[in-house]
Amino acid sequence: MQIIYDLVRSRLLARFGENIIAIIAYGSVTRPDDFAGNVSDVDVAVITKEIIPARDRLDLFLDLNFHVDAVFLTKEQLAELSIEGYPLAYYIIEDGRVIYGDVKVIEDLNFRVTEKTLDILKKSSIAALGLGVESYLMGMYNDSASHLYHAIRHAVRWRAAENKGRIPISNVEIYNSIKELELGEIIGKTFMELVEARRSELNSVKCRTLIEKTVKALADIHGFERISSWSKAENELIKLKSRASLVEVKPVIKENKLKWLIKVFDTLKDRLLEFEV
């Protein structure tokens, strides 16, 4: 990981120099046991004296053979995110490793769980499920497994924040929280299966199975009254394949039920079709 840290640090300092207060690596890049090289991003928070326009940083890491997800914040912006309860602030403060600059940037901050924390984590779990399905349909099976992993992780973090006032970070902490919250052995097994799947070679059949397991796990964690299986939605897509082009498919929650919103363009009728299954 030191090589990655050195590359990221040198790029940032070469371009922004004295404007940088601190560079903080966070996420799985700080936890080698959790890092899955083929799908894990290198998450970095860059704390600056002044706001850096997006146009000045778009091409910063384009030529590297790994993906860097960098968030640029002023010291004041980071403090505001912490006060309001944004999970990002928690990850930076509690899981961050300062690879350049003043460690007091995060040591002086106090994070507390708020309704904002719970709302973001809860919604993120469903959004990640949607990204998992999208990657599956594109044939990107490892990316799909990674998104499904995030879906369960976000959901467990939401429940832990709601019930315990804290957010579990590592895979071990997530698994232990599943047991502590008594979410069920099946959810724990599904989560660990997704941990391994991110690092493995997957085919469409295995990925489809993981989607179904994730849907069931999320239903139990969220307490949905009813769910529509992914296979049901996929069968609808197969029926429409000969005459329609897929525009969007995503999970939606209505009246505490998980359904699938499907949008296709019907080439025969020359119009957009939208329906739920």
pLDDT in tens, the chain (277 residues): 788 999 999 999 999 999 999 999 999 999 999 999 778 899 999 999 999 999 999 899 988 888 999 999 999 999 999 999 999 999 999 999 999 999 999 998 999 999 999 999 999 999 999 999 999 999 999 999 999 999 999 999 999 999 999 999 999 999 999 999 999 999 999 999 999 999 999 999 999 999 999 999 999 999 999 999 999 999 999 999 999 999 999 999 999 999 999 999 999 999 999 999 9
**Cα-to-chain-centroid distance, residue 196:** 17
What is the structure's pLDDT at 27?
95
Say which residues have a Cβ less than 8 Å from residue 159's Cβ, sequence separation at least 6: 177, 181, 183, 221
Distance CA 99, CA 192 (A): 30
Angle, alpha carbons 67-123-85 (nearest 5°): 80
What is the structure's pLDDT at 65?
83
Instruction: Name the CATH architecture for the domain at 1-108.
Output: 2-Layer Sandwich (3.30)
The three-state (H, E, C) secondary structure of the chain, written as one string: CHHHHHHHHHHHHHHHHHHEEEEEEEHHHHCCCCCCCCCCCEEEEEEECCCCCHHHCCCCCCCCCCCEEEEEEEHHHHHHHHHHCCHHHHHHHHHCEEEEECCHHHHCCCCCCCHHHHHHHHHHHHHHHHHHHHHHHCCCHHHHHHHHHHHHHHHHHHHHHHHHCCCCCCHHHHHHHHHHCCCCHHHHHHHHHHHHHCCCCCCHHHHHHHHHHHHHHHHHHHCCCEECCHHHHHHHHHHHCCCEEEEEEEEEEECCEEEEEEEEEECCCCEEEEEEC
Instruction: Name the CATH architecture for the domain at 113-223.
Output: Up-down Bundle (1.20)
What is the structure's pLDDT at 218?
98
What is the structure's pLDDT at 1?
77
Q: Where are the domains of the chain?
A: 1-108, 113-223, 225-276
